[in-house]
Amino acid sequence: EIFRACGAIKWAGSSIGVYEGQFDDDEQYKVIEAQEGERPFIVVNFSGTLQAPMSYHGVTGAKHDITQTMFVVQVVHTDPRMTRRVMDQINSKLIGFVPKGCGEVVAGLYASPGKINALGTPTRYSAVQSYSYYVNSNAIC
């Protein structure tokens, strides 16, 4: 569901590519080369689950306690202003979004000032934001 929310972001009338996992510099460059007109692309990277604060622990035992899941969204493009604009769209779609069986998506514990990668041509800029949501162990988001 989170991929669908990110996939709903539009660039020049069409959806932006959404990828999962981490990309090294060579992979990022290949993805950018494949994009028509060097459109931005989005990378989503999920963490494992974290123990929720004690106030969220129930009497059902560790197997059924609420956990917290975090994920990071990175927008990559050749224009730093465009990365910020796309990230603003993602924030408006994801913050408050409720995946099935989960709590609301909220801004995570940190935000990055972004990155610049000038190892290839064109130079790539990225905006990075973390998010989190709560989930019961028996629900799949």
Please give the Cα distance from 7 to 14 (Å, whole number). Answer: 10
Report pLDDT digits (tens) over 71-122.
888 888 888 888 888 899 899 889 999 888 788 999 987 766 777 776 666 7
Report pLDDT digits (tens) over 11-35.
767 777 787 776 665 565 555 555 5
Please give the Cα distance from 41 to 32 (Å, whole number). Answer: 8
Which residue has tokens 């994009």? 35
- What letter does residue 38 receive in the DSSP assignment? G
pTM of the predicted model, to two decimals? Answer: 0.76
Please give the Cα distance from 72 to 108 (Å, whole number). Answer: 8
Among left, alpha and beta (phi > 0; psi -120 to 50; other), residue 7 is: alpha
